[in-house]
Structure 1
Amino acid sequence: MRPPVGRAVVHPAFRRFWWATSISEAGTYFTTLAVQVLIVVQLGGSAADVGLVNGARWLPYLLFGVVAGVLVDRMRRRPVLITADFVRAGLLLAVPLLAWTGSLPILVLAGLMALLGLASLAGDAAAQALVPRLVPVDDLTRAHASLDRAAAVAQAGGPALAGMLIGLIGAARTVLVDAASYLVSGVLLLFTRVAEPVPERAARQGMWTEIREGLRWVYRHRTLGPFAIATHGWFLFSALAGVVLVPFAVDTVGLSPLLLGIALALAGVGAFVGSSAAAWLGERLGTGRLVIAAQAGTGIAWGVVALTPVSGWAGVVAGAGQFLLGVAMGASNANEMAYRQSVTPDRLQGRMNATMRSVNRAMIVIAAPLGGLLADAIGYRPGLFLAAGGMLLTALLLLLSPFRAARVGE
């Protein structure tokens, strides 16, 4: 018998993990904004420099993603995550120190962000693979929903708080908030007890053999395979929409920065609402049907944004689209994570999570520049409609696949 849908996840180890993850998640929003302000205001950089530094942050996911998955599967996951947290804290601490001494050119900052991305790759792979060791299968959806709610709160309030702090103490010092958040996260995890067996060395088959095993598991699985491919497509179109949104809102529609910020914050509010109902919806609709409906919902949401008029109602329409986007993503993510972790053996968790995450990030890197060029060619509003149509197409492909009958733990 499944436990009641609304029951809270009460496992002590997960509670500590939740606090550690939530604190570090909130800190990330401070660095995301502060680094971009630092590049433009203090270092005199251009939009291309912002793109260079942002790209460096994700480059390790493309180069080393599947390798990280193998390494995580060969180790106990909690020590990997603790090490990654402390390394990230040290790298972020270097940003204000170098800025204070005048030794922080753009390329050095990009190098620091690449190293931060490498540590985050290891930490993310370990964190995702650790959750199934903290809670039983029947609690996976609720566990991920609670993590999503914390992330939604950070998304709704983090950028505004970061902006206020940047105005008070400067962009470089604001990065210290994120450094402190990783330090606190690492300390909390040090005192988290998790039963983790040490993987047997005799089970190792060689790096490339284990990489192929992980890839085969993801892409040849009857339901996980179609889901993975559709998710990669969704990330492609989502990246296109993300590139077009700001120039569309500012140049085409004429939204002020304040109204745009409010609209984006509503996505965080919607994500909180969606994640709060995620477990309940997953139980009643089934994981496959809910995820398909949510992917279609994201397409509809971007369609609403594309319909934003050049009038006094612009902020309302854009905000409604962003709110709907947040609801759909919040309801879906916990069910997606719980499903893919529930069907994957423990020994393959690191490879499965790292493979999917790395290819998803590859879609962002590919779509971001190409999407910008395409939108410049066909227009911002048609670009958003194209992204919306692509998301509806991924939902249709999933509907026609065996994934439509998928359920967590089955």
Structure 2
Amino acid sequence: MSQHVADPPASPVVRPPSLLRDRNFVLLWSGQTVSELGTRIAGVAVPLLAADTLHASVFQVSLLTFLAWLPYLLVSLPAGILADRTDQRKLMILCDLGRAALMLSLPVAALVGHLTLGFLYAVVGLSGVLTVLFTVAYKSMLPALIPAAQLVDGNAKLTMSQDAAELVGPTLSGVLIGLVGAARTFLANGLAFLVSALTLLLIRPGPRAGSATGPSSGPSSGPDPAAPAERVPLRVQMTDGLAFVRRQRILLSILACTTTSNFWVMAASSIEVTFMVRELRASSVQVGVVFSVSAVGGLVVGALAARLSAWIGSARVIWVSMATPGPLYLLMPLARPGWGVLLYGIGLAAFSANAVLFNVASTTYRQRITPPAILGRVNAAFLWICFGVIPLGALVGGALGTALGLRTALLVCVLGTWSACLFVVFSPLRRMRDTPDPA
């Protein structure tokens, strides 16, 4: 008589623990939230300090934006080499301390009567260089800090911090400037960078099993000291990231999409305040409300990014997030005075939601398929190209506004922004549901 043997119980699906219980990630997230808030405070305080305290002209104030973005063109590629070959956590700490010192030098210079426009230019330019170094290391560090399965959630939480800072930072900056003046407001900015440095210092570096970079890589991993030194020309090292992207059709499509979107978004941004004030006759309060409404879109989608990615597909969501919200962008040039100004806010909110979901999904894809040894250089290549077009986009937006009128120029810009989706819609992503597992 045969004896029936019961089938073994099915193995339960093991879900990764919440990132909120991951000490290292919580430290990174909290530090970056404070740092992003400080950056948004400075974003309002810097032009006001130049215009009101130093009596700079419109062109002189615009040079501050140029100097803030110029380092992405000049140092992104070398920053990638540095991020791949040094302790990323220590590099980020040094950048935070340097930025804190630069920001704190402004109220000190004002106190002793040596605050000049040239000094402000130097602070903005040097701070921009440190920001590029920090950003490249920061984007390369995350895959070694958390498991690969949680990259979407981690990137979403970090992106939410940016939107939350964008929602709160300008208002807080205005309050601080009103209370203590523009120069002293940079005390808060410097303090934010010090908090970020402290949280990075408290992170315990070590190997993270199951991370995108493999079991032997930790957040502070660098070149193996026992390995023989490779004599590779600097030019070749700087272009390693670009060469890898060229060989990856999907990465190339994502790069083209992001670059096109950034160009037209910056073109629209360069004229949007003028459009709201002159065409829509919006007050300063209404302009602030519009930008606050736009940030809400990013916050909501950021909170749902992991679920949306799982539902739609971690690869499919890249092109869906770019293509779907496009019709809502048309509400911006269709906005009218009075309550119609809110149409502009709805259009901006749609773009903010798209940007968060796309950036989370595309960054996660890049982190998962890029070999860890060159991740810093690949991230740097993206920054070099995607952010390098921003100053050019701003110039084109101003030229279009002058030649075509603000409303027509804005229509061209939003159509250009929506057209960026074509690069990912007509790519292999359209036939994929999920991102491949890292090797």
* TM bin (shorter chain): over 0.9
Task: Choose which of 280, 290, 294 in structure 2 pairs with 1:267.
Answer: 294
Deviates more, 1:56-65 or 1:301-310: 301-310
Matched, 1:393 2:419: yes
Task: Choose which of 318, 321, 331 in structure 2 pairs with 1:304.
Answer: 331
Task: Choose which of 82, 85, 103 in structure 2 pairs with 1:74.
Answer: 85
For 2:126, the aligned partner's letter is L
Shift of 1:5: 9.6
Please give the alpha-carbon distance, in whole angstroms, between the structure 1 residues aligned to 2:126 and 2:192.
18
Higher alpha-carbon Rg: 2
For 1:340, the aligned partner's letter is R
- Percent identity between the aligned chains? 30
Please give the alpha-carbon distance, in whole angstroms, between the structure 2 residues aligned to 1:268 and 1:2.
36
CA contact (8 A) 1:226 1:403 kept: no
Partner of 2:98: 87
Please give the alpha-carbon distance, in whole angstroms, between the structure 1 residues aligned to 2:405 and 2:13.
50
Matched, 1:29 2:40: yes
Deviates more, 1:276-285 or 1:315-324: 315-324
Partner of 2:217: none
Matched, 1:211 2:238: yes
Partner of 1:353: 379
Instruction: Write out per-residue CA displacement over residues 341-390 of structure 1, whole angstroms, 9 at most, x where no aligned residue.
Output: 11111111111111111211111111111220122101111112112211
CA contact (8 A) 2:19 2:25 kept: no
Please give the alpha-carbon distance, in whole angstroms, between the structure 1 residues aligned to 2:69 and 2:98.
17
The structure richer in helix per residue is 1
Partner of 2:129: 118
Residues 1:199 and 1:293: Cα distance change in structure 2 (over 3 Å): same
Shift of 1:406: 6.3
Task: Choose which of 202, 212, 222 in structure 2 pairs with 1:198.
Answer: 222
> What secondary structure, in the 3-state scheme, does the structure 1 residue paired with 2:35 have?
helix
Please give the alpha-carbon distance, in whole angstroms, between the structure 1 residues aligned to 2:107 and 2:191.
13
Over 4 Å off, 4+ runs: 1-9
> What secondary structure, in the 3-state scheme, does the structure 1 residue paired with 2:387 have?
helix
CA contact (8 A) 1:298 1:391 kept: no
Matched, 1:107 2:118: yes
Matched, 1:331 2:357: yes
Deviates more, 1:213-222 or 1:202-211: 202-211
TM-score by length of 1: 0.95
CA contact (8 A) 1:300 1:388 kept: no
User: Which stretches in structure 1 are left out of the alignment for 5+ residues?
Assistant: none
Instruction: Write out per-residue CA displacement over residues 16-56 of structure 1, whole angstroms, 9 at most, x where no aligned residue.
Output: 11111111111111111111110111000122111111211
Matched, 1:315 2:341: yes
Shift of 1:316: 2.3
Please give the alpha-carbon distance, in whole angstroms, between the structure 1 residues aligned to 2:101 and 2:248.
40
> What secondary structure, in the 3-state scheme, does the structure 2 residue paired with 1:287 have?
coil
CA contact (8 A) 1:36 1:50 kept: yes
Counterparts of 1:200-279 in structure 2, within 5 Å, are: 200=224, 202-203=229-230, 205-279=232-306
Residues 1:95 and 1:398: Cα distance change in structure 2 (over 3 Å): same
CA contact (8 A) 1:6 1:279 kept: no
CA contact (8 A) 1:137 1:409 kept: no
Residues 1:4 and 1:308: Cα distance change in structure 2 (over 3 Å): farther
CA contact (8 A) 1:302 1:325 kept: yes
> What secondary structure, in the 3-state scheme, does the structure 2 residue paired with 1:313 have?
helix
Counterparts of 1:134-149 in structure 2, within 5 Å, are: 134-149=145-160
Please give the alpha-carbon distance, in whole angstroms, between the structure 2 residues aligned to 1:66 and 1:198.
17
Shift of 1:220: 2.2
Shift of 1:246: 0.8
User: Which stretches in structure 2 are left out of the alignment for 5+ residues?
Assistant: 1-11, 207-219
- What is the aligned residue count? 409
Instruction: Write out per-residue CA displacement over residues 34-80 of structure 1, whole angstroms, 9 at most, x where no aligned residue.
Output: 11110111000122111111211111111111111111111111010
Please give the alpha-carbon distance, in whole angstroms, between the structure 2 residues aligned to 1:142 and 1:91.
33
Please give the alpha-carbon distance, in whole angstroms, between the structure 2 residues aligned to 1:272 and 1:6.
23
Please give the alpha-carbon distance, in whole angstroms, between the structure 2 residues aligned to 1:79 and 1:361.
25
Partner of 1:371: 397
Task: Choose which of 57, 66, 72 in structure 2 pairs with 1:61.
Answer: 72
Please give the alpha-carbon distance, in whole angstroms, between the structure 1 residues aligned to 2:194 and 2:35.
9
